[in-house]
Structure 1
Amino acid sequence: MRRKTVSVGPSAFRPGLLAPRYWPTWFGLGLLYLLALGGHPLRRGVARLAAGLYRRVNPRRAGIIATNLRLCFPHQSAETREEWLRRYLERHMLALLDLGRIRRARSGELTRQTEVEGQAVLERLRAEPGLILTVHSVGLEWAAAMLAETVPGSTIYKPFAANPVVDWWFGGMRTRHGTEALPRERGMGPHLKALRSGRSFFYIADEDLGAEHSVFAPFFGVEKATLPLAGKLARASGRPVYPVIGQLDEVTGRYRLHFLDPVELPATADREAAAAINRVIEELVIDDPAQLMWSLKYFKTTPPGEADRYRD
């Protein structure tokens, strides 16, 4: 019987990554470094062009964004949702172009370049580790890298199996300040252990991971498959929950960490716990909805008997 290989984290560099088939990837990464040396106006101009091109060549993904916004904000006008879609795509492309800035930043540089809303909460987090509850926002990578400079912790890592160069590059970016990045199949045990030992856990709580371990609860009024784990982890570790979202101002190019006050979540695995998590996420998102990564299928898992919400 063949033994199943279990991933242990981001891959290490090896000579095979320099093979000719990976040269286009290296070329792209080189462009990110060059853009990091350029100014924000250059990156924003490229991001605007990329956002428009993305929408034309990938209308299905643009349709997913539009569907998410329509489901969550039916009371908003079509014009408002269209503006949010446009701003999200521009911000998302700009954040991708900023990855070179994150990868090459010296220790402490990201902290100095980040605006913080809720400085007192950040200072408490640095003194009292906890579960950092966040979402897939356009500023996610920047927020994670910035916090890693001064907040030791762990996070869940999703390998880029299709391209080992990208896996190595992202892995290095996410772990170079000491963050322990572990694949999802390792479970929550190592992160619970880290919390108990005095390290924080950077936990992204908004993704739809299927029905097996999820509970349906309202998210902006729409039933969404939600993992009700945050409260259980906080109770088991005796640590607080710190909600935060990474945001990007596309005009100035500045990133901002917006902290809410620490919250208490039900330590159960039921609808009440899932709904409480979703309410926290809503509060993080509602002040600027175009910051959330709406291109994800947040509602791909549907309650029994309900049709596919993304059907063309």
Structure 2
Amino acid sequence: MTGRRSQSGPTAFRWGFVAPRFWPTWLAIGLLHLFAFTGHRPRRAFAGLLARLYRRFNPRRVGIVRTNLALCFPEEPADVREEWVRRHLELHFLALVDLGRIRRARRGELTRQTDVANQPVLDRLRREPGLILTVHSVGLEWAAAMLAETVEGSTIYKPFADNPVIDWWFAGMRTRHGTQALPRERGMGPHLKALRGGRSFFYIADEDLGGGHGVFAPFFGVEKATLPLAGKLARAARCPVYPVIGQLDETTGRYRLRFLDPVELPASADREAATAINRVIEELVRDDPVQLMWSLKYFKTTPPGESERYRR
């Protein structure tokens, strides 16, 4: 018997999770918990090994990283972008290794281990809940867990295909401090209700969900399918929009939350609103481009008449 994905929340634990087909998953989870008790240097060394293996055995996904960087930063020399590819993959796997630290951390522990840029904005967020606009960065899970220690809120999650054990494990990490994690199929209604009720909404705004769910707007000068929803939600809930990105320092192993000042976004669902959202995301990313999760297909949906951007 395997776990069932609930329409009201993440997968619950079931005894079927101990079946032999899930043993490799449990082994990986065990390693993550083991690394939670080690220092930064062994975690970074292991992450570096994983990154090198990934580059060797997953050229298609590495090609997506290269394509995204070439589209967004054509002015940068090829050798600079290639160095960004290397750094990004090392940061990505270091953040994965750090998931065990997040899962076992006691309340307040992540806050003490996090540097905050623009602390007054975080202080305001704790007093005045709102829409926390963020992106798929390497520090995303850490940022969400750290904020959950002191900021009540909700978020959207996407189930992992065909592996309910991973669903269950991530659910425990994301909801252990009271965050309400709901599947995308539930829509925005529960999150709008939470915003109106004085809770925050941790909203990841950079994903390409297809042309049928958004409008095209420039992102680093490239037309990107964007969901222009953040301003509409904020207007409906009469709450601020707090842009933030979670970053990771590969040298020290410390995480950093970089807040921008709260912004006002158009409440329309058109190109103007989508462009405003993308400009905020660009400002978050330009500080240190390698922090964004460049392995995602941000430009998979193309305008009519334009060729596919990711070569198979």
State the TM-score bracket (shorter-chain normalisation): over 0.9
1:25 & 1:87 partners in 2: Cα distance? 26
1:230 corresponds in structure 2 to 230
> Residue 211 of structure 2 corresponds to which residue in structure 1?
211
Aligned counterpart, 2:278: 278
The 5 A counterparts of 1:283-302 are: 283-302=283-302
> What is the CA distance between 1:159 and its match in structure 2?
1.1
Deviation of 1:6 (Å) = 6.0
| Letter aligned with residue 193 of structure 2 | K
Counterpart CA distance in 1 for 2:249 and 2:161 is 31
Query: What is the CA deviation profile of residues 218-269 of structure 1, one whole-angstrom value per residue up to 9, with x for unaligned ones?
Result: 0000000000000000000000000000000001000000000000000000
Q: Which residue of 1 aligns with 2:37?
A: 37
Partner in structure 2 of residue 266 of structure 1: 266
Task: Determine the structure 1 residue equivalent to 2:108.
Answer: 108
Distance 1:234 1:107 in 2: 29
- Structure 1 CA distance for aligned equivalents of residues 18 and 128 of structure 2: 43
**What SS does the aligned partner of 2:300 have?**
coil
Query: Which residue does the alignment assign to 2:70?
Result: 70
Q: Which residue of 2 aligns with 1:220?
A: 220
The alpha-carbon distance between structure 1 residues 98 and 6, as it changes in their structure 2 partners (threshold 3 A), is: closer
User: 1:202 matched to which residue of 2?
Assistant: 202
In the other structure, the counterpart of 1:172 is 172
After TM superposition, the runs of 4+ consecutive aligned structure 1 residues lying more than 6 A away are none
Q: In the aligned structure 2, how far is the partner of 1:7 from the partner of 1:97?
A: 29
Moved more, 7-16 or 47-56: 7-16
Aligned match of 2:61:
61
**Percent sequence identity over aligned pairs:** 79
C-alpha displacement of 1:161 = 3.4
**1:238 and 1:44 mapped to 2: Cα distance?**
43
Q: Report how many residues are paired.
A: 308
Range moving further from structure 2, 157-166 or 110-119: 157-166
- In 2, the alpha carbon distance for the partners of 1:161 and 1:171 equals 14
Aligned AA (1:239):
C
Q: How does 1:126-205 map to 2 (within 5 A)?
A: 126-205=126-205
What TM-score do you get using the length of structure 2 for normalisation? Answer: 0.98
Give the distance between the partners of 1:75 and 1:27, measured in 2 at CA: 43
| Deviation by residue 1:91-142 (Cα, 9 ceiling, x = unmatched) | 0000000000000001110000000001000000000000000000000000
Alignment deviations for residues 28-60 of structure 1 (CA, whole Å, 9 cap, x no partner): 100111111111000100111110110110000
CA distance in 1, matches of 2:6, 2:16: 21
CA-based RMSD of the aligned residues comes to 0.9
**TM-score when normalising by structure 1:** 0.98
The 3-state SS of whatever aligns with 2:193 is helix
> How many Å separate the matches in 2 of 1:287 and 1:42?
27
Displacement of 1:299 in angstroms is: 0.1
Q: Per-residue displacement from partner, 1:164-195 (whole Å, max 9, x unpaired)? A: 11010000100000000000010000000000
Q: CA deviation at 1:12?
A: 1.3
| Separation (CA, whole Å) in 2 of partners of 1:301 and 1:52 | 30
- The alignment partner of 2:216 has SS state of strand
Q: Distance in 1 between matches of 2:136 and 2:220?
A: 16
Give the unaligned 5+ runs of structure 1. none
Give the superposition deviation at 1:27. Answer: 0.9
